[in-house]
Amino acid sequence: MKKGKFNVIIGAQSGREDKDKLSTFLMKKFKPDMVFPFYRGQGLSVPADDLQRSMGKGLTILCVIGAGFDVDAMALSALLEAAGVTPESPFMGDVYGVLHPYIEYGIELDPYDSQMIVTWEAILFTCGCTMPVGERYGRYHMFDWNMFAQFAKFCSPNYLCVQDAELIDWGNMYARDAVDLTTKTVAFMGELENVAECEVAYVGTGPQDTDMVDRDLDNEDTDTGTD
């Protein structure tokens, strides 16, 4: 996260920063001066003038765009238009894209009719789950690579975060170090990085925000070539 800049998370589990694992983790790590949510179609939750003044003062800002369990290719442009910021602005910081290996939607909200539906039981079987896990409700779909490519094209993320990595391979559960991630997971990360042309900086491996692999790529003194 860039200090003194306007940083954005796209694809958070919730626009409420205290309910999203990555934003909670980044708030503890970087301690931004201002954190606020944004949902496309609902406008800014803080006055645009206040936001502009905060940027002018050099405050570190983090906007959390809630999108459930998926990224929204048009969310960033909607946010920047509302905030009066352009991608080329000197105020612009890092953009984080949050991905999940499976997409969950309620039955009443399903933009993935053409995608393969998968059951919760099948997900647990595929990842090799070794412990009892409660039932989840809603519909699950396989990861949509076309939609992810659109997100990468329109949002140009600096970094990615893969959440629910234990659903890729149960061997990732509670991992805190990159060397503990399984070969299957590293391969998935590599495919994401090839499409988005940026690196996976964080990998969520469990239910808590502390269940996170931090690859230490987004510190200002770390040159990744993507800033």
Amino acid identity of residue 84, one-letter, is: G
Confidence of residue 139 (pLDDT cuts 50, 70, 90): confident
Confidence at residue 113, expressed as pLDDT on a 0 to 100 scale: 53
CA 75 → CA 65, 116, 141, 151, 220, distances in Å? 7, 25, 21, 9, 25
Residue 85, Cβ neighbours under 10 Å: how many?
A: 21
pLDDT at 6 over 60: yes
Confidence of residue 13 (pLDDT cuts 50, 70, 90): low
User: H or E stretch including 26?
Assistant: helix 21-30
Domains observed in the chain:
6-214 (3.40.50)
| Average pLDDT score over the chain | 85
pLDDT, tens only, 195-214: 999 999 999 999 899 999 99
Confidence at residue 15, expressed as pLDDT on a 0 to 100 scale: 44
The sheet carrying 117-118 orders its strands as: 102-105, 139-142, 117-118
* Alpha carbon distance 52, 112 (integer Å): 37
> What is the DSSP annotation of 48-114?
HHHHHHHHHTT--EEEEEE-TTS--TTHHHHHHHHHT--TTSTTEEEEEEEE-SEEEE-TT--S-TT
* Tokens of residue 196, six digits: 């988005």
Which position has the token pair 């699950």? 140
Whether pTM exceeds 0.85:
yes
**Mean pLDDT in residue range 112-141:** 76
pLDDT at 225 over 50: no
Share of the chain above pLDDT 90, in %: 51
DSSP one-letter code for 116: P
